[in-house]
Amino acid sequence: MTKSIFIASAEPYSGKSVITLGLCDMLLGKTQKIGYCKPVILSDDPAHPDTHIQTVLSHFQLPQSYDDAWAFTRQDALQLIRTQRQGEMIDKVIARYKALEERYDFVVIEGSDFAGQGTAFEFEINRTLAKNLNAPALLLISGEHKTNAEVIQEGLTFCRSYLSHDVQVIAVVANRVDPAQVDLVRQSLAAQLPPGVLAAAIPADRALQHPSVGDIFAHLGGKLLFGQDHLSNQVDHFLTGAMQVPNFLNYLKENVLIVTPGDRGDIIIASLQANLSSSYPRVAGIVLSADTVPDEPVTRLIEGLQNVVPIMAVASGTFETTTEVASVKARILPDNTRKIQLAIETFHRFVDIDALDKKIVTYHSDVMTPHMFQYQLAQWAKRQKKTIVLPEGNDDRILLAAARLKAQQIVNVILLGNPTDIAASIKRLGIELEVPIIDPATSPNYDDYVQTLYELRKAKHVTLEMARDLMTDVSYFGTMMVYKGHADGMVSGAVHTTQHTIRPALQFIKTRPGISTVSSIFFMCLEDRVCVFGDCAVNPNPTAEQLAEIAISSADNSRAFGIEPRIAMLSYSSGTSGEGEDVDKVRRATQLVREQRPDLKVEGPIQYDAAVDPVVGRQKLPGSAVAGQASVLIFPDLNTGNNTYKAVQRETGALAIGPMLQGLNKPVNDLSRGCTVDDVFNTVIITAIQSQHS
């Protein structure tokens, strides 16, 4: 039973980071703890640490040190081989790996980078390490500047070289393949590889292959004058600005980096204006050569602009600088979350995850960890792809989350708002997002929606004119889309209040049969488990009957999301010790749950510590099936619930996914106005899953 996988490439710059990041993300969705090991790195210079190690450890927050992830520098390993001390090197690598194996459920091992002279050495040492670590290999080849026949032959040869040395190969991945040839390359590899070896092909992607402005700045050095917040801008082209402005503008291309002397104020101003204009492509950044900077009036003009692209000054001449820019290779750095996410999304899209999972033996824990939970959420949402409407299309967080959702093909997204404004925001953010954008006032469905709202609410004294006004509101329009079946769910609240978001749903989507109370739950992703908190967002002071209904709804949703429900009805006392109106209400609610749903495990009243701490639980309520291991925690009122979830979130670093509204006929969910992009992303996914059951 394997606890590791070895990623090996056949040549430099093959895009190994895509495989490493994708594998780590996949494995963290299936096992509780993973380790990462890159036995041979280029240099141990503290000023130039290995970016692969830094990126993996920081992005996935792996609980291991940088030094635990490597064993030798390339130079030291090569010297040991030259002096016939290869065994010494292998022994140290095995010892480093075993230390990780003892601490983690699975270890991802990454081969060296083929940097510098003597790449044959690296080919041999990677294969030797994979064999001695008894780790199955995932082999990576590059399709860049190669014919289909060359890619396939290289993949077959690479695979045979490992198999002939008794190294198990579980997959061969061809990366950076001509997008038009991806299916052909994958099918040809699959047909010719030995039985049991998976084949995958990943298309070339400029966003991954091309460097960022930050990569170029790090390579060139110099001084950054403006644009610190936009160093992640992708550079697809570079251009020397040495001509007159009219001719210069004709040469601009998308995501271009402009190299020009610092005294060319005309070129600088024209570049910045072109970046703001919808008539010209996006400018990635500007490099000022020849140790010159703009004159004071030009500098003052730039200082008054917003969202200025990075502008850096270097000492080298224009020709030398341009040559250096051309030599910079793309890297995935720890702070480039956009490129990291794209790499993960690319892996999940073009590698058969289910087939790969069957090849890799992992340890499945009974504990539902946060990574497992989030991974499962995405997989559940993909089973039956739903359409979610996002009324706040002008908010950057909504657009960034929508781009991630679209790229991962988890849900279909519809944005509400002014199409021109939203298109401008998409360009400013530098994201790829092609989804329907609807302006309620100009929608072909506007009149139909107005008439429907009028018919539904005329008994509540809503006139036709009032319905027309209400239907220009994005919350009413989005909710009507859900009501009419033109969308499967809605997520809002990044800009609007909770009341503004859910009022339309309460007015005409209404509650499910048998449900009288709309409530909410949070999925609290703690370090080693996921539990459900309810109700922390809707009902200020629920009655005993409402508390019972909230508990039952929360338990049913807990089970639907893969969490076995053990309900704790929280109060300030446990068992029969307490007296008073508040504790009596919880005691009554607990009895109602037992009467209405005898299949559910429920305990109450119970204090928080007795609900979640096994030692305290045994002391206060011995023999309880819930005490010490509660997974669904029901708070007696909104004040307690809202403050507790925020305290747990802030003090423990837990991820709080929600609130998810429960009890409505169709899913409408509310965001916090302080939400992050991740919050939007996760809430849309749980809304999509809810809609699969509505």
Q: Phi and psi (nearest 5°) for 500?
A: -65, -35
Tell me which residue has tokens 């009554």.
588
**In what order do the strands lie in the sheet containing 311-313?**
223-226, 311-313, 283-289, 256-261, 237-240
pTM for the model: 0.68
At the topology level, CATH places domain 4-205+340-359 in Rossmann fold (3.40.50)
Pick the CATH number of 213-327 from 3.10.20.70, 3.40.50.10490, 3.90.1300.10, 3.40.1390.20: 3.40.1390.20
Domain ranges of the chain: 4-205+340-359, 213-327, 370-509, 519-662
CATH architecture observed for domain 519-662 = 3-Layer(aba) Sandwich (3.40)
State the pLDDT at residue 335.
80
Count CB-CB contacts under 10 A for residue 447: 11
Same fold, 370-509 and 519-662: yes
CA 183 to mean position of chain CA atoms? 26
For CA atoms 329, 333, 339, 343, give the dihedral sign.
positive
Is 166 exposed, middle or buried, given 0-12, 13-18 or 19+ CB atoms closer than 10 A? Answer: exposed
E strand map for 458-529: 489-492, 519-525
pLDDT at 363: 35
Amino acid at 491: V
CATH class belonging to 370-509 = alpha beta
Asked if 156 and 26 touch (Cβ cutoff 8 Å), the reply is no
Q: Which residues contact 51 (CB under 8 A, 6 or more apart)?
A: 331, 332, 333, 334
Mean pLDDT by 10 residues, the chain (694 residues): 85 89 91 90 81 92 91 85 78 87 91 68 84 89 92 94 88 94 94 94 89 88 90 89 91 93 92 91 93 90 90 92 87 84 93 88 53 78 93 93 89 95 90 92 94 91 91 94 95 89 90 88 85 91 94 93 92 82 92 95 93 90 91 95 91 86 92 87 93 84
Residue with structure tokens 């950054």? 224
